[in-house]
Structure 1
């Protein structure tokens, strides 16, 4: 596996460079609010990913070792994102839990969802003020790493 183009070590090393790169790019952007907080969609996605992964574990207990850490991580992401959203909007109502998936998801569906969440978080990070970039870049890196591990 040492010759693999995308080894786990190489992906994680590359992701470690993401927060400084994203922070440097976002410093020149406007930081004023221009619509709904972009972290709301990321928190919703984190709850949905956690529910999807939990449903996959419930459908196939053999996936528990691979997916339970993801359920836990995405649940923590949702809580951290909500805390940041609430910090700027203390009057925001508590969001509803994610609805359970309508189908029996498997490893592939979870991998696709977490990959999409990682991309969305990475894209959102470019328009955020510096004090929020670290959180969102961390979410993006974690999602991207899990997507690679689940391949």
Structure 2
């Protein structure tokens, strides 16, 4: 069998829809792959290797369940990207439903220096969100809310349109 577990593939449905997914498991004896998309079990001839960038989705998605799957996967990829590329010991990045949270342990700034540092941190996170926003290129015309949580209050960062 050509593909391994976790390989990113393109699944061609019986209706000729494309689904960008990955292989959850391989059934060697049966010659089947189990996909992350709806746990579909399919033979190799229904798959091809996905060589598109991580944030790519199919161009024409006609079915709502396929759109919902790609939307959900895109949010997961964004969170994974942020965790991998912007890990800080004082920062936790996670997802809750359709919201991405940046939670930090910083306390309320009191001095002018602390306020300046606080503003620099908020600006840094806003730039990160801008980078992700440009990477996903408004694929779904929906907003993902991104919230920066400090122990003393909450700041809403720029929304990401995907």
Fold match (TM-score > 0.5): no
Q: Could you say which structure has the larger radius of gyration?
A: 2
Report the TM-score when normalising by structure 2.
0.30
Q: Which has the higher contact order (CA 8 A, sep 6+)?
A: 1
Looking at secondary structure, tell me which structure has more helix per residue.
1
Looking at secondary structure, tell me which structure has more strand per residue.
2
